[in-house]
Amino acid sequence: MKSRTTIKTNKVATKIEMAKSFLSPPGDTIQEHIDFIGMSQAELAERMGRPREKINDLIKGREPITTVTAFQLEKVLDIPASFWLNRETTYRQELYALQQQENYEKQKEWLNKFPINAMRKSGWLPDTKELPVLMDNLLKFFCVASPAEWERIYVDEEVSVAFRISLAHAQNPHAISAWLRKGEMQAKEIDLAPFDKEQFKKTLSEIKELAFLSPPDYIQQLQHICARCGVAVVFTPNLPNAPISGAARWFHHKPIIQLAGRYRTNDHFWFTFFHESAHIILHGKKDIFLENVEGAQTDEAKEKEADTFAENILLSERQLQEIKSVSPLTEDLIHEFARRFRTPAGVIIGRLQHSGVIKFNTGNGCRQKVDLFS
């Protein structure tokens, strides 16, 4: 017994085929006119200087009316070339629209793998359930002509020039690719100075002080400071099934640090930022780094290097050892160390928990909440 979906799909296909059968190619008008004046296809071919079979293809719609053909028809049939060109354009547009409807039905499975509801709710896609509108806008969102191009860019093992990493083994490549693409779109909206790596490295101490002071507009300040150095910092909310913390890559010759604020605490937020900064400073422009994406390709050596870079900026090993030497460690002492080392108390707690000095349920009151999208 056929499912409702199958029956519906078959009905749509039949409706499209019927609509295609009702389309009238420009050749119908050619045939009507030569019948009216008593001219055969063979004579028309002779007068136009074209092979007879080509004229038949033209009349059946298998061959398009080109500019040259339109002016030949004008001379032979005394009907303006503009008429034939307009007739051809209208026919091809109508035929293309019907062919697209066929493609949409075939590609529906691809579309349904994306978190469409979340993307609509966030305004990334129009608030509609119409398949053609959604499909067109999803393809425009990714700047690709068809799902096949999306596949080549994001999933194929032979990594594309545009992306340079395959999500073939990631659990949810569709949602992850949408999150990454949104970050690229956000980065385009930022007015960036030319990238200056040395200036960016120097600026990280200023950003660490920003992390410690945590003024109400620290998110905007962070974005502005990095833009001065030519680095786009963007904040993109997680999508369902794409629990990614951050990413770093170059896109159209501009470095992007993309953050989701996934864990919503300042220790995770700042560590992720400085970790991604390390990738921009230390690693190649052809690399892309995705944090917490299960199954994605990972360069463990570069990830460890970025971890060490971020740890040393936020709290050096010497500073960590000094804190460890104190017992018992109270929250007041943690805040005192935070003031001395100009680093957030939450970062110190995170490092102590990560190194096993304190339990993961200890000192969490020192952490500050981070909500990038309130």
> What confidence score (pLDDT) does residue 162 get?
63
Tokens standing for residue 5 = 């979906």
- For residue range 316-372, list pLDDT tens digits in order: 999 999 999 998 888 999 999 999 999 999 999 999 998 888 888 888 889 999 999
Burial bucket for residue 102 (CB in 10 Å: 0-12, 13-18, 19+): middle
> What confidence score (pLDDT) does residue 9 get?
55
Delimit the domains of the chain by residue range.
4-109, 116-179, 185-315, 316-374
User: How far is the C-alpha of 55 from the C-alpha of 88, rounded, in Å?
Assistant: 15
* Separation in Å, CA 275 to CA 63, 245, 308: 58, 11, 8
Q: What are phi and psi of 250, to 5 degrees?
A: -105, 140
> What confidence score (pLDDT) does residue 284 get?
84
* pLDDT tens, N- to C-terminus, the chain (374 residues): 455 555 455 566 677 778 777 889 999 999 999 999 999 999 999 999 999 999 999 999 999 999 999 999 999 999 999 999 999 999 999 998 888 888 888 888 999 999 999 999 999 999 999 988 999 999 999 999 999 999 998 888 655 656 667 787 788 899 999 999 999 999 999 999 999 999 999 999 999 999 999 999 999 999 999 999 999 999 999 999 888 999 999 999 999 999 998 889 999 999 999 999 999 999 988 888 888 777 677 788 999 999 999 999 999 999 999 999 998 888 999 999 999 999 999 999 999 998 888 888 888 889 999 999 87
Pick the CATH number of 4-109 from 1.10.260.40, 3.30.420.40, 2.120.10.80, 3.40.50.300: 1.10.260.40
